[in-house]
Amino acid sequence: MRNKYALFWMWMFLLPLALDFKGAESSSKILQILLVVPTVAGGIALMLIAPRFARRSRLRSFVTAALLVTILGSVFTQLVQGNDMGNYLRVILPFLLMLLGYFVGCHPWNQERLEQIEKVMFWSMVISLFFSFAYGWATGGGLENVRFRIVSVTFLCLQGLLLHEFVVAKRLTKMSVVLFLVTIVIELLSVTRSLLVGTVLLFMFATWLAAPSPRLLLKAGARATMIGVLLIGMVFAAAAVFPSVAEHWTQRIFFSAETTSGRDPTTITRLAEMKDQYDQTTSSAVSLLAGMGYGHDYRYSPTYLPDLAGQMSAKDFYAIKEWAAGHNFWVYQLFAGGILFGLALPIGVIFALWRGSQAYRAWRRRAPDVLYLPVLGRALLVLASLPATSVGGNPLGNRFSGLVFGVALGLLVASYGRIAHAMRLRAMAGPSQARPTYRSNFGPNFGPEYGPFEPGMGEGGPEMLPSHPAQTPSLTHGRHQPPSGSSTLAPLG
């Protein structure tokens, strides 16, 4: 923990891939290798100096098993299906980086190291935001072409962190506001509907996290409505300043009305891709159980050819052949790993989000001063960007996004286990007569007396607070001190 090079390893781990870019297939791969090697080296160094947990956690065991099943299972499927090895390695690399990021983040780092990890990850995403915009604008042509290249692969992750500052922590600084406005401008220039939907979903999730009770939810909803009105006003102002961007948005929204089939071509191509992946997966018992493998070829299903009449010729339609991670994270996982190896990762992520968010709301209501609670909140919003990004694409199709999602998942699982243990100690430190007795037909953590779900189920006992919880040393801060990590984004001030 006192390794004097720890901060250097963190920058070496997270910064290189923030400068990642997509080059031509014929270009040299040396630069791409130089971006990955220091990341892997920095991650291994951090794992070697990281502290170890002394206690078991069922959530940690479950998520770790889900990640290992995905990675190890992909090797088995590759041996069975015999896909092109180069394509397999390129597709599986973001998943390997996610596993590495998870192993780095899922350790009981002290407060100083946690703040360093979060700061490095935050500033790496900021660098990625501006680098992607500058590189995309420099290498693209008009807005119709450049809009595909100016969006960072961790765009929604950065917005999730900023939304935590605004909605959950209720901190507004000049720099954070400017950064958020920059993301909105890039979002408008990209003319990407799914990106806008992802921002709305993250905003709703942050509002829900910030309101652990119905009364607070009403207040948070009113505040969110006001912020939403301001954002809509800014969108209309931007449309007046950039009429060409507004025209592109209008075309994207109403383009389906101008097609022969009356259906949106982008949606149709996504459905055609998913249909072919599903048909290949269900073509045999082996492919259904083990999948077709990462990097396996897929096309567009002929079922959707009539819907693209006037937009794509039959020759171009049947010429489509892809091997990269598909545009839908959920279907591609089934396609690549089947029932045995593909569903583990989505289940692990969704379960971690559900368990972590329920626990965060309960702990925020009952013990807002507990250690590592802000770290848990930020990790939840970054990880929630994974399903939010999947609205329009596969969030694990890029290396840097896989790395960031892995770190966020590790911080979530580690923070959850540490807070659950702290709550148990706090409960045991209170009077024995104050410890609740559960009476419910739905299990020990349900009941009208104590509300619905209480966090920590399966973590060695309930973490319900006693009526007069003791201020156990090292579990909370002083009365006038902020929670751990509350000033992680202090440089934004």
Provide the 3-class DSSP secondary structure of residue 298.
Answer: strand
Q: How many residues does the chain have?
A: 493
261-284 burial string, b = 16+ CB within 10 Å, else e? eebbbbebbbbbbbbbbeebbeee
Predicted model pTM: 0.85
Rounded Cα gap, residues 298 and 274, in angstroms: 9
Range picked from 140-144, 255-259, 396-400, 468-472 for highest mean pLDDT: 396-400
Q: Say what the pLDDT of residue 246 is.
A: 61
Place 467 in a pLDDT band, splitting at 50, 70 and 90. Answer: very low
CA proximity to 459, closest of 449, 448, 473, 445: 445
pLDDT (0 to 100) of residue 247: 62
Q: Mean pLDDT highest for which of 21-35, 246-260, 374-388?
A: 374-388
Q: Are 485 and 111 in contact (CB under 8 A)?
A: yes
Number of alpha helices (DSSP H) and beta strands (DSSP E) in the chain: 19, 0
Q: Tell which residue, 322, 388, 290, has the closest CA to residue 70.
A: 290
Q: How far apart are CA 405 and CA 160, in angstroms?
A: 12
Is the CB of residue 57 less than 8 Å from the CB of residue 420?
Answer: yes
Q: Write down the pLDDT at residue 463.
A: 34
Handedness of CA 225, 364, 103, 57 (dihedral sign): negative
∠ Cα 261 269 252 (to 5°): 70
- Rounded to an integer, what distance in angstroms lies between the CA atom of residue 91 and that of residue 94? 7
| pLDDT single digits (tens) 480-493 | 444 444 444 544 44
d(CA 465, CA 450): 10
d(CA 184, CA 51): 39
Q: Which of 91, 61, 70 is nearest to 341 (CA)?
A: 70
| Contacts of residue 401, Cβ cutoff 8 Å, sequence gap at least 6 | 94, 153, 154, 157, 389, 395
Q: Do 170 and 187 contact (CB within 8 A), yes or no?
A: no
Q: What is the predicted pLDDT for the residue at 88?
A: 96
Q: Whole-angstrom Cα distance, residue 417 to residue 356?
A: 10
pLDDT at 31: 83
Q: Poorest-confidence range of 85-94, 215-224, 235-244, 360-369?
A: 235-244
What is the secondary structure of 95-148 as a DSSP string? HHHHHHHHHHHSS---HHHHHHHHHHHHHHHHHHHHHHHHHHHHH--SHHHHTT
What are the residue boundaries of the structural domains of the chain, listed by start?
Answer: 56-493
370, β-bridge pairs = 476
Please compute the mean of the pLDDT values over residues 212-237 and round it to a whole number.
Answer: 69
**Nearest one of 80, 91, 159, 79 to 126, comparing CA atoms:** 159
Maximum pairwise Cα distance, the chain = 77
Task: Kindly write down the DSSP assignment for every residue of 224-277, as one continuous string.
Answer: HHHHHHHHHHHHHHHHHH-HHHHHHHHHHHHGGGGSSSSS-HHHHHHHHHHHHH
Per residue in 229-254, pLDDT (tens digit) is 766 776 666 666 666 666 666 666 65
Burial class (CB in 10 A: 0-12, 13-18, 19+), 352: buried
CB atoms within 10 A of CB 212: 18
Q: Sign of torsion, CA 421 426 428 429?
A: positive
Structure tokens at 458: 């399966």
List, for residues 382-399, the tens digit of each pLDDT value.
Answer: 999 999 999 888 999 999
The 3-class SS string of 155-208 reads HHHHHHHHHHHHHHCCCCCHHHHHHHHHHHHHHHHHCCHHHHHHHHHHHHHHHH
- Nearest residue to 10 (alpha-carbon basis) of 154, 108, 122: 122
Distance CA 214, CA 139 (A): 49
**Closest listed residue to residue 355, CA positions, set 52, 53, 62:** 62
* Spatial contact of 211 and 220, defined as CB atoms under 8 Å apart: yes
- Check pLDDT > 80 for residue 280: yes
- Amino acid of residue 235: V
pLDDT > 70 fraction of the chain, expressed in percent and rounded? 75
Q: What span, in angstroms and rounded, lies between the C-alpha atoms of 387 and 329?
A: 8
Match 């706090």 to its residue by tokens. Answer: 426
